[in-house]
Amino acid sequence: MKVPPNTYHYNDVNLFKRKDIIALWHLPTSVAVNNRAGLVCLPSAPRPEDLETIEVAGWGQVCIDCGSSAILKTATMHLLDVDSCQSGWIPSYPFALTEKILCTTNATGQVYFGDSGGFGGWRRDDGRYEQLGVVSFGSETPLDPERPVVFTRVYDYLTWIYQTMLSSKP
């Protein structure tokens, strides 16, 4: 996969251990806000305490051996605690998951290969969306929906995000 220019990776990224997987792109031009592209807010807390589900969105594959979805797919998914998430990945994922994640069930098979980098968040009372997580990894095929979906928790990287945004201005 070719990395686009002006891509900023978190300095401790470890793809093998699937740790600290987060990046930012500095786009060369502005993006028009319309019915296909919108704004999301950065989180002010790790997650609201009473939040039980998050909304996810992505263009991942909808079947084996087919390309990405032509339309944005969305779903509502139930949050899991880190221990439940970890047990859903043992023994195929022997590395310990950290507290820097959000994790959801995937019982409906809604998130899979190609959704990495996608939205995981909620709609606030003011109608705005808040991005709590970025899809990190999950089942590689829609035939394995029992695997939890792991999100990089955005809140834990806010300092890095703000510093990167300030230092990368043209």
Domains, the chain = 7-15+42-167 (2.40.10.10)
User: What is the CA 166 to chain-centroid distance, rounded?
Assistant: 23
Count the Cβ atoms, other than its own, within 10 Å of residue 62. Answer: 17
Enter the pTM of the model. Answer: 0.82
Residues of the chain with pLDDT under 50: 1
What is the residue-wise DSSP string for 97-155? Answer: P-TTEEEE--TT----TT-TT-EEEEE-TTS-EEEEEEEEE--SSTT-TTSPEEEEEGG
Q: Work out whether the CA dihedral 109, 113, 115, 117 comes out positive or negative.
A: positive
Q: Distance between CA atoms of 80 and 51, rounded to whole angstroms?
A: 11
Q: What is the pLDDT of residue 132?
A: 95
Q: Distance between CA atoms of 54 and 76, rounded to whole angstroms?
A: 6
Q: Distance between CA atoms of 61 and 149, rounded to whole angstroms?
A: 15
Q: What is the pLDDT of residue 1?
A: 46
**pLDDT tens, residue by residue, 99-143:** 888 988 876 667 767 778 888 999 999 999 999 999 887 766 555
With b for 16 or more beta-carbon neighbours within 10 A and e for fewer, the 83-92 pattern comes to eebbebbeee
